[in-house]
Every structure is written in C-alpha cells, then in structure tokens.
Structure 1
Amino acid sequence: MTSKYKVLFLCRENSARSIIAEALLRELAGHRFEVFSAGSDPAARVHALALAQLRPGISDLGLLAPKSWLEFTGEWAPHMDLIVALDARVAEYHAPDFPGKPLFVQWDFADPLAEGMTPDERGRSFEKVFWQIVRRVTLFMELPRYTTPAVSHATTAEPATRERDIVCPG
C-alpha cells in the first residue's frame, strides 16, 4: 500500500517560515506530500508579510493557520515521515516526541520577524527568506527518496528511525 509522505514544518510561532514551507510544498507537490506546519508557541494569525509573499502563487491560502505542535503528538495524530525544524528554538532536542519516530532535520533560515528591523528591512527579509525556502523545498521534493510514493507504515518491515542524514543540501 502506498501513500503520501507526511511532512511537518516547525517554527516557534508558526506564522512565517513554517507556513511558507507548508504552502509551497503543498502547492508544488501536494500529490506526493501531505503537509502540515506547527509551532511551540503559535501566533494568533499568519503574518501579513508571509501571506503577501504567498498570495501570487498559492491557490488556497485559507488552509494556512498557526497551530500548536501538540496537535501532532497524541495517539490520534498522523504519523509523520519527516519533521523539518525551521527555527533553532524548536530543534529536535526542544521538540516533543512525535508518533512513529519520524526523521528529524533542521533547515536554517534567518528569522524575518527578528527584533530591530525597520519596515523596509523586514519586507526585504521576508522576500529573501521566501526565495530561500522556495529553493530548499524545490530541491527537497526532487530528492530520489521522495519521488516515489511512501510505503505505508503498517507494511514497513523496519521501524522508522531518527537517523541523521542529509535530507536536502544547504
């Protein structure tokens, strides 16, 4: 039995980087990936500058909303194949245990919401991070490991591990 790969993007507030990554992977390869995003301390809403970057090319912005990563930790939660931390503050050693022991990786991008930026600097930061995430998501979805359908966890002979491999080049 085959299925889509389940990917969870994590950021602290789940209002910018993880939302952008979720939207892009769903839009570009939703036929192969079931995509989610969450945060340790989710914001009340998606940041307006993240939506501004996504608006021209994402067909369903209504699916995007900040969520707590706790929504993905219970027995009822979908078992992820891959967790991608986009913020060092939610790296593997900070994150809770997720069902199924998914592969956990970190992609490092500057925080477009960092303190001390002028409005123009923040806008440029969002644009730069957006294009960096576009590049990384595009490279990721073309990796041979993810170009074929996932094998159902129920039929997999070997349990998933938290192996440390390069899931996507920097």
Structure 2
Amino acid sequence: MTRKYKVLFLCRENSARSIMAEALLRELAGHRFNAFSAGPEPAARVDPFAIAQLRPGISDLGVLSPKSWLEFTGEWAPRMDLVVALDEAVDARHAPAFPGAPPSCAWHFADPLAEGLREFDRARLFEKVFWQIVRQVSAFIERPEYAVPPCAAACAATIPAAVASSHGATTCDA
C-alpha cells in the first residue's frame, strides 16, 4: 500500500473554491491523496454554483460540506502534508497553527462569491475559476514529490479527460 498525502484547501467561507479543489483532487487522484477543505467563516452550505460546476464529473458530492478550519487544529485532527490557501484572507499569515506544522502554499483565484456580481457574471466566473482549479490541481498531482509508479500513473491519466468531457470541453491546458 502506498502512502496517501493529506492536503487541506482553505478558503474564507469554504463553500466554493476550496470545495471545488477538494472535490477535484479527490476525484482525480483520490488513490494518492486525502483531500480536505475548511475556512474561518464556513458557510451554511456549499454554493449552488460550485455544485453546478462539480455535478457533471464528481462522483460523490454528498461528502462535501463547509467546515471550520478549527476542526483541523486539535490533537485529534489529521496531520496534513500540505495546506493550500485559495485566497489571501486565509494564507499562512492568517491561518491557525495546524498539527505537525505542515508546509503551506497559495493558489489565489478570483472570488466568484464577490459582492455585486450579476447572476450571469457569477456563473461565468464560477466556470472560469473551476477550470483554473482543474489546471492547478492537475499540475499539482504531476509534481515529482507525489509521483506514483508508471502503471498507476497511466491509469490515472484517463480521469482528467473524463472530467473535461463531462463539462463539454475536449482539452484542458495544464
């Protein structure tokens, strides 16, 4: 059995960007990663626009829910291998101390929940951010430090195409 890396995605409300990143990492490389997401001000539910983006290619939407990042700070919390901030409000300067002091990095994307967006513009921004996260997660899983044996990599290579085709895209630039 190979080691599964634990990755925590952070976003302020944990209802959109971090949820999409968690779902995509779990779907694309769940055999190699345990994906989690959280935020300092968790929303009551996952944003419907995020669900709309995920529904065509994600097999288990039922496990997704906004969570407080405090759930990942106690002694009982899983020890993360990496913490990824998806907006400036939750980067390493603002985040709490996580057990084991895991390294952190930032993948900043536009906030599709920003105030003042019309519904049409919000839907378009969600789609744009979704594909940016797909590209970032796809590049992340290819990093050498998370390498897998060649036969496992060949099997996993077909999954991103399935997600892309379920969203009506034929290719997804990494």
Instruction: Report the TM range for the smaller structure's normalisation.
Output: 0.7 to 0.9
For 1:92 and 1:85, locate their aligned partners in 2 and report how far apart those are by CA, in whole Å: 8
Give the whole-Å Cα distance in 2 for the aligned partners of 1:59 and 1:147: 24
Q: Tell me by how many angstroms 1:2 deviates.
A: 4.7
Q: Give the letter for the 1:24 counterpart.
A: L
State the one-letter code of the partner of 2:83.
Answer: I
With normalisation by structure 2, the TM-score equals 0.84
Report the secondary structure of 2:112's partner residue. coil
Q: Secondary structure at the match of 2:37?
A: strand
The CA deviation string for residues 51-95 of structure 1, in whole angstroms up to 9 with x for no partner, is 000000000000100000000000000000000000100010100
- Higher relative contact order structure (alpha carbons within 8 Å, sequence separation ≥ 6): 1
* 1:1-20 to 2 correspondences below 5 Å: 2-20=2-20
Q: CA deviation at 1:133?
A: 0.2
* Matched ranges for 1:121-140 at <5 A: 121-140=121-140
CA distance in 2, matches of 1:98, 1:55: 31
Cα displacement (A) at 1:145 = 0.7
Partner of 2:157: none
Count of residue pairs brought into register by the alignment: 150
d(CA) in 2 for partners of 1:74, 1:26: 23
Q: Which is helix-richer, 1 or 2?
A: 2
Structure number with the higher strand fraction is: 1
C-alpha distance in structure 2 between counterparts of 1:53 and 1:89, whole Å: 24
Q: Could you say which residue in structure 1 is the equivalent of 2:171?
A: none
The separation in 1 between residues aligned to 2:125 and 2:148, in whole angstroms, is 34
2:33 corresponds in structure 1 to 33
1:90 is matched with 90
Match of 1:21 in 2: 21
Q: What is the one-letter code of the residue matched to 1:83?
A: V
1:153 counterpart residue number: none
Q: Secondary structure at the match of 1:124?
A: helix
Return the alpha-carbon distance in structure 1 between the equivalents of residues 130 and 86 of structure 2: 12
1:77 aligns with 77
Shift of 1:148: 3.9
Amino acid at match of 1:41: E
Report the residue type matching 2:26 in the other structure.
Answer: R
The residue aligned with 1:99 is 99
SS across alignment from 1:3 = coil
Kindly indicate whether residue 34 of structure 2 is the aligned counterpart of residue 67 of structure 1. no
CA RMSD of aligned residues (A): 1.4
Q: Distance in 1 between matches of 2:103 and 2:147?
A: 17
Could you tell me the percent identity over the aligned residues? 72
Task: Determine the C-alpha separation between the residues in 1 that align with 2:148 and 2:97.
Answer: 27
Structure 1 unaligned regions, length at least 5:
150-169
Give ranges in structure 2 of 5+ residues lacking alignment: 150-173
Give me the TM-score of the superposition, normalised by structure 1. 0.86
